[in-house]
């Protein structure tokens, strides 16, 4: 067997495979022996079918399978051994049935789309803007108020406030506005509603300022845009029945629960920042500011990545792409792509393909490697953020470790984590290699910059 490569241009090549009978004959004999051991043919015991009959019935198929297997392995092996960087997969030049009656030796050809050479430069001569968001006292105080509310106490209230929970009986009304008393009437004795979360603010306003023993007529359907799950929970009925409940209800208020913000004391400081991270209000506010800056830094990095992509694609995007070979590969491997729409589909994928090639070259220059510890640390960060959403800011490390293992065990989620970790390491490395043109901006200015990306 002989395998040779003919380059047709800088990014395209033809791989030629010549195979003779002696190359595939041993594999054919092996396949026929396997068939003979397992074939069930009427009139013969299993494993005792004459070799001539096996050859007659299965010889062509075994020969075809053996040739295809050998040629495929030869193509893959040549690409691997010669370290060819290939886009997509090899595309057969001519697909037709083998003429085994008249031929013993065969020639195969495969089109290869080669990765173009990209001479990316990453040094201090490369200037990329980097926007840092100014954290104002107003932003710090607003975030502090949110923490105080999160860690505040729920206490009985005299009147319904914007953040109040309202308890009481919820009774279905008829068309005349009277409480229904028939057997099918919906009556929730121990009901609870949270007007602050109502989708329809006009419905929430009906509860504003109401007191215990007051009655409020409202429409549960409007409070949640008819969401069956929310209606089912609010009214204590099945989701199937909830889908048809669109009328008014009356709520007789029996209890009002309001949130009183936590005091600015050591307990709050520890809950927000960790044990003894701050011992007075000034240290606490400084810690809150640092938290905001850390969170906003992720936004800065997001815009930085977009600016890097813009700079790199503008400078290196004019690369030579093996378009025709890639189009043939797309048609051969995608049911929804054919000769009529392949040009359009290829143009859609071209920008992302070019960026991926540039990014891979950047990763090579930066010598990016992803270790299992990198994935574990990233998964722990995700777990920590999830706990923080529920106000749990001091989760033990062993608990985070256990959650990280569960995240990484998800076979569907793991590849995405690998990509995210790789991107994070890459752009951190790019930050260190290029010149950052830092500019301090307000939050509103930053939002405008991000919207115009």
Q: What pLDDT score does 383 carry?
A: 86
Residues 430 and 289: their CA atoms lie apart, in Å, by 27
Q: What top-level class would CATH report for the domain 2-114?
A: alpha beta
What residue spans in the chain does CATH classification 3.10.50 cover?
153-260
What residue spans in the chain does CATH classification 3.30.70.1050 cover?
2-114
Q: What pLDDT score does 176 carry?
A: 93
Q: Give the pair of three-digit tokens for residue 375.
A: 């994935």
Q: Give the pair of three-digit tokens for residue 235.
A: 């009214």
Q: What is the pLDDT confidence band of residue 45, given thresholds at 50, 70 and 90?
A: low
Question: Could you give the 3-state DSSP secondary structure of residue 177?
Answer: coil
Mean pLDDT of 351-380: 94
Task: Give every CB contact of residue 33 below 8 A, 6+ residues apart in sequence.
Answer: none
Q: What are the pLDDT digits (tens) for 74-114? A: 999 999 999 999 999 999 998 778 888 788 899 999 999 99
Residues 379 and 401: their CA atoms lie apart, in Å, by 8
Q: What pLDDT score does 58 carry?
A: 82
Name the DSSP class of 195: G
Mean pLDDT of 56-61: 82
In contact, 292 and 300? CB cutoff 8 Å: no
Please state, as a whole number, how many other Cβ atoms lie within 10 Å of the Cβ of residue 410: 12
Name the DSSP class of 182: S
Of the candidate ranges 53-67, 306-320, 425-439, the one whose mean pLDDT is the lowest: 53-67
Alpha-carbon torsion (373, 375, 380, 381), positive or negative: positive
**CA-closest candidate to residue 63, choices 38, 93, 95, 35:** 35
Please state, as a whole number, how many other Cβ atoms lie within 10 Å of the Cβ of residue 149: 13
Q: What pLDDT score does 387 carry?
A: 82
Q: What is the pLDDT confidence band of residue 393, given thresholds at 50, 70 and 90?
A: low
Alpha-carbon torsion (141, 279, 272, 425), positive or negative: positive
Backbone φ, ψ for residue 226 (5° rounding) = 75, 20
CA 398 from centre of chain: 26
Residues 20 and 2: their CA atoms lie apart, in Å, by 9
Backbone φ, ψ for residue 39 (5° rounding) = -70, 135
CATH architecture for the domain at 153-260: Roll (3.10)
Mean pLDDT of 308-317: 95
H-helix or E-strand containing 133?
Answer: strand 127-133
Range list of H helices, 177-263: 201-205, 220-223, 228-235, 239-242
Q: Is the pLDDT of residue 36 over 80?
A: no
């Amino acid at each position: 067997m002989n395998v040779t490569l003919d380059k047709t241009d800088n990014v395209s090549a033809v791989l030629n495979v010549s195979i003779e009978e002696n190359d595939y004959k041993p594999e054919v004999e092996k396949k026929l022996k396997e068939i003979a051991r397992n074939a069930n043919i009427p009139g013969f015991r299993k494993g005792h079918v004459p070799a001539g009959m096996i050859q007659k019935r299965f010889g062509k198929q075994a020969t075809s399978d053996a040739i295809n297997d050998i040629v495929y392995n030869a193509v893959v092996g040549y690409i691997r051994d010669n370290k060819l960087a290939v886009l997509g997969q090899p595309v057969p030049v001519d697909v037709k049935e083998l003429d085994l009656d008249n031929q013993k030796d065969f020639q195969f050809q495969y089109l290869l789309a080669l990765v173009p050479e990209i001479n990316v430069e990453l040094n201090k001569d490369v200037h990329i803007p980097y926007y840092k968001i100014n954290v104002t006292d107003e932003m710090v105080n607003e975030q502090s108020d949110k923490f105080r509310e999160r860690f505040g106490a729920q206490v009985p209230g005299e009147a319904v406030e914007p953040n109040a929970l309202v308890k009481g009986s919820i009774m279905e009304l008829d068309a005349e506005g009277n409480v229904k008393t028939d057997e099918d009437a919906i009556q929730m004795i121990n009901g609870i509603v949270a007007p602050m979360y109502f989708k329809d603010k006009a419905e929430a306003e009906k509860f504003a300022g109401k007191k215990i023993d007051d009655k409020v007529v409202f429409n549960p359907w409007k409070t949640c845009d008819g969401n069956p799950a929310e209606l089912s929970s609010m009214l204590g009925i099945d989701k199937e029945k909830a889908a048809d409940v669109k009328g008014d209800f009356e709520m007789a208020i029996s209890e009002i629960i309001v949130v009183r913000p936590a005091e600015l004391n050591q307990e709050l400081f520890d809950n927000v920042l960790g044990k003894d991270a701050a011992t007075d209000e000034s240290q606490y506010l400084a810690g809150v500011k640092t938290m905001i800056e850390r969170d906003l830094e992720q936004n800065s990095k997001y815009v930085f990545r977009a600016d890097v992509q813009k700079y790199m694609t503008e400078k290196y995007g004019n690369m030579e792409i093996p378009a025709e070979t890639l189009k043939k590969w797309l048609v051969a491997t995608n049911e929804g792509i054919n000769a009529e729409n392949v040009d359009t589909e290829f143009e859609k994928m071209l920008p992302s393909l070019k960026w991926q090639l540039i990014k891979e070259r950047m990763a090579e220059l930066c010598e990016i490697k992803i270790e299992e510890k990198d994935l574990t640390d990233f998964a722990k960060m995700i777990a920590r953020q999830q706990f923080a959403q529920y106000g749990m800011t001091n989760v033990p490390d062993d608990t985070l470790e256990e959650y990280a293992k569960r995240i990484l065990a998800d076979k569907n989620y793991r590849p995405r984590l690998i990509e995210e970790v790789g991107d994070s390491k890459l752009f951190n490395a790019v930050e260190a290699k290029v010149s950052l043109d830092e500019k301090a901006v307000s939050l509103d200015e930053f939002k405008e910059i991000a919207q115009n990306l």
